[in-house]
Structure 1
Amino acid sequence: MDRAYPQQNPFVFFVIASTYSRSLGLAAISTLALLFIMSHLIATDYTEPPEDNLGPIKPVHMPTREPTVIRNDPPQPPQAVPPQPVTTIIETTVDPVVVPTLIAPPRPQGSGTEVIVSRDPIPVFKPAARYPSAALRRGIEGYVVVEFTITKSGSVRDPRAVAGYDSEGRLTDVFNRSAVAAAARFKYQPQLEDGKPVERHGVRNRIRYQIAD
């Protein structure tokens, strides 16, 4: 069987030949240029420049500097620790009230017997009074006489300070407000007359103010 070969185009052959010729020409030119440059460099006579052309070297002046002395101040002594405040225990006391209890003999009533009780008010709750800060700062001790009414329910009504005195027996009102506020919170079992609660007027208490050691 015969093989078919493509026909060569004369124009393509010419283009390929011209490309190779151009490349060879550029390579030859580059080689000749390099040879020329190298021969020129070899032929150049480099000589050392004369010493007279060198400029004079100016002397270098270093400035004189004084040494810097750093002084470290001695550390300050630590501040003295302030003394701890003395713990003050405030003691407020209320004089006890003697409450007599009267028991009447039984009285016949209906088919049974009944005990009729008459008694004075009995304190149930007496909170400590708050020590006034002004009196505490000045170290004042004393007492206040308060007067009030005990109602039928056992609460306190219309408390007032009758008189206040310091520990030296001199009149003072520094405790009055605190004493009245404390008396207003007092609680009692009310007074009984024939077994019935009644109001008790003019009840007096002495509230003491003393700074415990």
Structure 2
Amino acid sequence: MCIVLHAYHSFCKSKAESFRADHDKLKQDLATATEAMQADLLEAELTACRSTIREALECHHHLKIAGRRVRSRIRWRAHGDLVTKEFFAAVKERPQTTPLSALKQADGSRITEVPAMEAAITDFYSRLYAGLPSSEAHLAAEEAMLRHIPPRFLQNCSPDQVAAFGAVPTKEELGDAIQLMARDRSPGPDGVLVEFYS
């Protein structure tokens, strides 16, 4: 009887230790699961918070840009309705603060007198726009340009139209082009405004 009780006691003790180990493991698993769940909730909250902050920053950025556009538009309107007028007004004021003090000619000589500089500039631009290219260079450039025109395009044009493509523009055509151009614009890469020619 004593042996049976001892065996039963040992069995109960081992079961209790097993239950205690299982209980400790379950308790640890529960703590781990709770921490993971809290971390997930925190991550979800952080993600939502990041999205809200990002949207608020984007909205603020768009409002800032819109405000800049409105303020720029007000300034442009105050200076004459066109952006180019404000720009060229600033460009026109520049020579008053930074006058041309000297000019170097093609032969290397230096001019400092205002009448001589005006004469040199007038001579340079009159030769620049009145000069004709050499015949070889002119023909080479014309041939290079015509090579890029599809034959199908030329077939649909009359002989007079084809001849007009390579013709030198007349004074009337140049005058019409200048008159049709918008104000405060430059017809060429030199930056001289269309008002200068008209």
Normalised-by-shorter TM-score class: under 0.3
Q: Which has the higher helix share?
A: 2
If asked which structure has higher relative contact order (CA below 8 Å, sep 6+), I would say 1
Larger Rg: 1
TM-score (norm 2): 0.19
Q: Which has the higher strand share?
A: 1
TM-score (norm 1): 0.18
